[in-house]
Amino acid sequence: MGDVGQMNIGTMPLEQLSMMREQMQEENKFLVQSYQNLTLAAKRFGDSREALKAVTPEVVGQPVMVPMTSSLYVKGTLASAEKVLIDVGTGYYVEKSLEAADEYMKRKVEYLGENMQRLEANIVEKRKGLEAVTTVMQMKAQQQQAAAAKA
């Protein structure tokens, strides 16, 4: 029954299968967490693109709430409707035109979406492997119980 990677799991002892299953569960958990992190990042970039639409000449000089984090906002005043500062990571900010900032956010959302698709395919593959190991473990456990009942 089934190969996971290059190993024939049908010939492995139950204890080794159990350890393999635990490792695969941890890997799957990590991949799912990574997928969730990418989803959140893509949402933040999408939200940032939406926020750019509110930057118009009419709001220059008007009081605004500036997001410092996802839950912390401070009062501010919009100084310009032509350029914005964008966070490019690790504490670096770059001044860009609205169009360039929107294009940057769009590219980021697309890039994250592509990574999410690859990661999702990897998660599906890992789950199939995990199911195969679990099935073989159940079969071996039943065989051991049947052998013990005969003895």
CA distance 20 to 28: 12
pLDDT of 41 reads 94
The answer to whether 77 and 64 have CB atoms below 8 angstroms apart is: yes
Q: What is the mean pLDDT of residues 119-145?
A: 95
59 falls within a domain: no
58 falls within a domain: no
124 falls within a domain: yes
65 falls within a domain: no
127 falls within a domain: yes
What's the CA dihedral at 76, 77, 80, 85 to 10 degrees? 0
The answer to whether 46 and 53 have CB atoms below 8 angstroms apart is: no
pLDDT of 2 higher than 80: no
pLDDT of 91 reads 85
Q: Tell me how far the alpha carbon of residue 68 is from its chain's centroid.
A: 23
CA distance 107 to 55: 20
1 falls within a domain: no
pLDDT band at 110 (very low <50, low <70, confident <90, very high): very high
Beta-carbon contacts of residue 49 (< 8 Å; ≥ 6 apart): 102, 105, 106, 109
Instruction: Write the CATH number for 110.
Output: 1.10.287.370
Question: What's the domain count of the chain?
Answer: 1
CA distance 118 to 113: 9
What is the domain extent for residue 90?
16-53+83-150
Beta-carbon contacts of residue 43 (< 8 Å; ≥ 6 apart): none
5 falls within a domain: no
CA distance 126 to 4: 9
pLDDT digit string, tens, across residues 61-102: 999 888 787 789 999 998 889 999 998 989 899 999 999 999
48 falls within a domain: yes
